Amino acid sequence: MESVNGGKYVIFKLENESYGLNIKNVLSIEKVQEYTRVPNAPSFVKGVINLRGEVIPIIDLKNKLGYGNVEIDSNSRIIVALQEEVVVGFIVDSSSEVLEIKDENIDRPPRTGENKISEYIKGVGKYNGRIIMIMNLEKVLED
């Protein structure tokens, strides 16, 4: 298990659960805009958007994590994330805060889960009684 970097996390929600993505991987948070479908792409790739002249693929994170498909409403956001040279946008139910979670407040993820989610979570953060699942971006982008 690699160590989880302490610091600030962009918090977003999927199915009322809070997730965190290390702020160093986040380029921006955008409102959902019209996207162009990409035929023959995996089902969790919703399509591509025009982000200030760049073509960015957007990923339905709910689909990727096995929650079914995202329903886009006025709260939905696209989190534009960067991992090495790969830039992608994640569609999430909502995102409105950045929290600082210290390393000692992040536990290892429970090992019991056989589901898809547990692969993509690298830690469980605690913040004032809330539970925040820290995303393993590398893993999410790997396959």
Partner 1 sequence: MDLDINEYLDIFVEEANEHLQDMNYLLLELENDHSNKELLNELFRIAHTLKGMAGTMGFEKISNLTHIMEDVLDGFRDDKIGINTHIVDVLFKAFDELEYSINSIAETGEEKTQNYENMINMLREILNEDEEDLLKSLYDSGDNSEINEYVLNIIEKASDEGLNSYKVRIKLEEDCMLKAARAFIIFNTVEKFAEIISSNPSVEDIEDEKFNLEFEITIITKYKEKDIEKEIVNISEVNEISIIPIKPNKKAKEKKSNSDVDKYKTKVSKKKPTKRVSKVGKTVRVDIDRLDNLMNLVSELIIIKTRMEDLSGSSNKEDMNEAIEYLERITTNLHDAVMKVRMVPIERVFNRFPRMVRDLSKELGKEINLVMSGEDTEVDRTVIDEIGDPLVHLVRNSIDHGIEKPDERIKMNKDKVGVVKLIAYPDGNNVVIEVEDDGKGINYEKVKEKAIKKGVISENSAENLSKDEIIQLMFSAGFSTTEEVSDISGRGVGLDVVKSKIESISGSIEVNTEENKGTRFTIRIPLTLAIIQALLIKVSDEIFAIPLSSISEINNINVKDIRKVQGQEVILYRGKTLPIIRLNEIMDIKDESERKEAKIVFVKKGDRQAGLMVDNLIGQQEIVIKPLGKYLSGIKYLAGATILGNGKISLILDVNSLF
Is residue 26 a contact partner of residue 92, using CB atoms and an 8 Å limit? Answer: no
User: Residue 11 Cβ, how far from partner 1 at the closest point, in Å?
Assistant: 23
**67 DSSP 8-state letter:** S
- Please identify which residue in 14, 61, 88, 133 interacts with partner 1, judged by CB under 8 A: 88
Stretch that binds partner 1, among 8-16, 28-36, 98-106, 109-117 (CB under 8 A): 28-36
Nearer to partner 1, 7 or 42 (CB): 42
Cβ neighbours of 7 (radius 10 Å): 12
Size of the site for partner 1 (CB under 8 A): 22
- Cβ of residue 39: shortest distance to partner 1, in angstroms? 4
Answer for the pair 105, 127: CB distance below 8 angstroms, yes or no: yes
What are the CA-CA distances from residue 63 to residues 5, 21, 68, 139 (Å)?
26, 17, 5, 15
Tokens of 5: 């970097």
Q: Which of 54, 100, 103, 107 binds partner 1 (CB under 8 A)?
A: 54
Q: Find the binder of partner 1 among 34, 104, 114, 143 (CB under 8 A).
A: 34
Asked whether position 56 contacts partner 1 by CB under 8 A, the answer is yes
